[in-house]
């Protein structure tokens, strides 16, 4: 979806202190034999700090950096991958109570690791469809704390560890330091079992105390592929549709792959980032954000936005540069967005 006249007005992040991978190995939490294989350095661990509180901190930073007032926000989208608090309670209202007030639409976005991409598309559509003389804005947040009994962050999935953190984006129709050129998504629904494995749909796992283990579910899917080949076509299609969604995004942004300065992919192992993303796009690993992502872990729906903030803060993105953000989530969904840096972010100038 082309997003003309949609700008990034503010960014906010909250990433707690990291636990080194060596410490996890010494504690018997991470397999020593996978350290060299995956080259992950650690994971951000929030302790008992609730995800909605991390989201609130990131949201406050985004609004403060933007120069806007919380009352300027007309839409709140809250993306998450894991439990946020008590069952039957929704986290977006925590931000309304403590930051925004109740005079706006607030919605939780449940799209797993691609939740922020869904929020970008929904937020841009909202801003494009509203009218009025004043600039309009939408606040998008994502947050997760994976330090719960039903998840082992160090063995959560093949080739990655789970990190805690939050991110926030204030989208606006008012010109700003970065422009959102496009955001788009495709799905490969025939691969939905990749993240489900052989688990039954009912009763839901958490209601009977079943842990979340994407490594085991992925192994179930691979056994099915080897047994009858039904999943092989799905795996091929994931690769094909990854390239397709990138091509669509580049076309809608009006640029070529050579115009992409940096790529923010999932915070996965080196071999996954290189094989599934950078080599597939014909780009060197030096243009990825893997060196940073390996230090904090996979931050749920926040990987790409936290990477964007890191690139801006370190000066790795400058005016005229393009960032391609690419994500994959259960479904299987494949999402892509392109951001162009117009000038130095005001809080960095």
Q: How much is the pLDDT for 234?
A: 81
Residue among 170, 109, 102 nearest 144 (CA): 109
* HSE-up of residue 24 (Cα within 13 Å, Cβ side): 25
- The pLDDT profile of the chain, 349 residues, written as one tens digit per residue, is 999 899 999 999 999 999 999 999 999 999 999 999 999 999 999 999 999 999 999 999 999 999 999 999 999 999 999 999 999 999 999 999 999 999 899 999 999 999 999 999 999 999 998 766 566 899 999 999 999 999 999 999 889 999 999 999 999 999 999 999 999 999 999 888 889 989 999 999 989 999 988 888 888 887 876 666 666 788 889 999 999 999 999 999 999 999 999 999 999 999 999 999 999 999 999 999 999 999 999 999 999 999 999 999 999 999 999 999 999 999 899 999 999 999 999 999 8
CATH class in words for 182-341: alpha beta
Are 7-175 and 182-341 equal in CATH topology? Answer: yes
> Three-state SS for 338?
strand
Separation between Cα atoms, residue 80 and residue 167, nearest integer Å: 11
Q: How much is the pLDDT for 14?
A: 98
Q: How much is the pLDDT for 59?
A: 98
Per-domain residue ranges of the chain:
7-175, 182-341
Q: How much is the pLDDT for 229?
A: 63
Q: Distance of CA 200 to CAs 3, 34, 203, 228, Å?
A: 40, 30, 7, 20
Contact 142, 165 (CB under 8 A): no
Interior angle at CA 116, CA 201 and CA 188, nearest 5: 50
Interior angle at CA 156, CA 152 and CA 159, nearest 5: 140
Residues 6 or more apart whose Cβ sits within 8 Å of residue 277: 242, 263, 265, 288, 326
Separation between Cα atoms, residue 187 and residue 64, nearest integer Å: 36
Alpha helices in the chain (DSSP H): 21-26, 35-38, 51-66, 92-95, 115-129, 214-228, 232-253, 270-272, 279-281, 290-296, 303-313
Looking up tokens 């996965």, which residue turns up? 268
Q: Which CATH number fits domain 7-175: 3.40.50.300, 3.40.309.10, 3.90.79.10, 3.40.47.10?
A: 3.40.47.10
Q: How much is the pLDDT for 76?
A: 97
Residue among 119, 103, 110, 101 nearest 167 (CA): 119
Determine which helix (DSSP H) or strand (DSSP E) holds 19, and give its type and residue range: strand 18-20
pLDDT-above-90 percentage for the chain: 84
Q: How much is the pLDDT for 31?
A: 95
């Amino acid at each position: 979806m082309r997003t003309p006249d949609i700008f990034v007005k503010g960014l906010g992040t909250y990433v707690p202190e990291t636990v080194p991978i060596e410490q996890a190995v010494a504690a018997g939490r991470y397999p020593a034999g996978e350290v060299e294989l995956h080259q992950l350095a650690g994971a951000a661990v929030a302790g008992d700090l609730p995800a909605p509180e991390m989201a609130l901190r990131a949201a406050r930073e985004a609004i403060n950096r933007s120069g806007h007032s919380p009352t300027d926000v007309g839409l709140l989208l809250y993306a998450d991958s894991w439990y946020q608090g008590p069952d039957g309670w929704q986290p977006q209202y925590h931000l309304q109570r403590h930051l925004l007030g109740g005079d706006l639409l607030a919605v939780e976005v449940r799209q797993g690791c691609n939740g922020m991409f869904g929020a970008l598309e929904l937020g841009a559509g909202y801003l494009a469809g509203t009218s009025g003389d004043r600039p309009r804005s939408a606040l998008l947040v994502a947050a997760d704390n994976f330090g719960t009994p039903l998840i082992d962050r160090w063995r959560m999935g093949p080739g990655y560890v789970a990190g805690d953190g939050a991110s926030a984006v204030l989208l606006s129709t008012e010109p700003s330091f970065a422009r959102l050129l496009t955001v788009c998504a495709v799905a490969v629904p025939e691969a939905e079992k990749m993240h489900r494995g052989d688990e039954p749909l009912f009763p839901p796992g958490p209601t009977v105390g079943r842990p979340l283990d994407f490594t085991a579910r992925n192994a179930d899917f691979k056994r099915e592929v080897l047994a009858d080949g039904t999943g092989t076509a799905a795996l091929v299609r994931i690769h094909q549709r990854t390239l397709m969604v990138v091509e669509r995004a580049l076309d809608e942004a009006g640029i070529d792959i050579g115009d992409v300065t940096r790529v923010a992919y999932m915070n996965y192992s080196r071999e996954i980032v290189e094989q599934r993303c950078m080599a597939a796009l014909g780009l060197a690993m030096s243009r990825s954000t893997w060196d940073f992502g390996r230090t904090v872990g996979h931050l749920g729906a926040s990987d790409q936005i936290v990477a964007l903030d890191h690139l801006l803060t370190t000066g790795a993105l400058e005016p005229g540069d393009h960032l391609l953000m690419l994500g994959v989530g259960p479904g299987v969904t494949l999402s892509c967005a392109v951001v162009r840096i117009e000038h130095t972010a005001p809080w960095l100038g």
